[in-house]
Amino acid sequence: MAGEQYSAERADNRQAPGGEDTTSISLPPISDSTSVEPKLTPDERAAVAALPAGSALLIAHSGPNAGARFLLDQDVTTAGRHPNADVFLDDVTVSRKHVEFRRTPEGFRVVDSMSLNGTYVNNDRVDSVLLRTGSEVQIGKFRLTFYAARPASARTQA
């Protein structure tokens, strides 16, 4: 299926300039990318299950570093194009100091560092937002999925 067909006609039933009274365009099907969590490989599932308490994992699912994993185990983890960033994302669509991932009592929060292209979580541009497992963080052309460590009680019951 290449897309859906939509037509637009003038409401006043007059002929449009140039003799045309109907305009048709083809658009791709609408998809809600926030509703589809990327499938994890067995290795990725094992890495998420083994996360130490108070940590989290970012897995790159698209972009130049697809497949890369980044451990969030500090109170503040920086991400950007600067070689000294904790999460080095080498692409011109990423600012040198793009975002910070901050560990708080509620969980991890992503905070945009006034980046040029912005930071998006689940397709919404954000300045700062608390992340949940499965949240998709877009930094430039990189799409990273966030996975928080399960509480210790949940791991012992599993």
Chain position carrying tokens 């992503």: 110
Per residue in 56-91, pLDDT (tens digit) is: 999 999 888 899 999 999 999 999 999 999 999 999
Task: Lowest mean pLDDT of 34-38, 51-55, 74-78, name the range.
Answer: 34-38
Walk me through the domains of the chain, giving residue ranges and CATH numbers.
34-157 (2.60.200.20)
The pTM of this model reads 0.73
pLDDT tier at 33 (50, 70, 90 boundaries)? very low
- Residue 49 to residue 61: CA distance in whole angstroms: 18
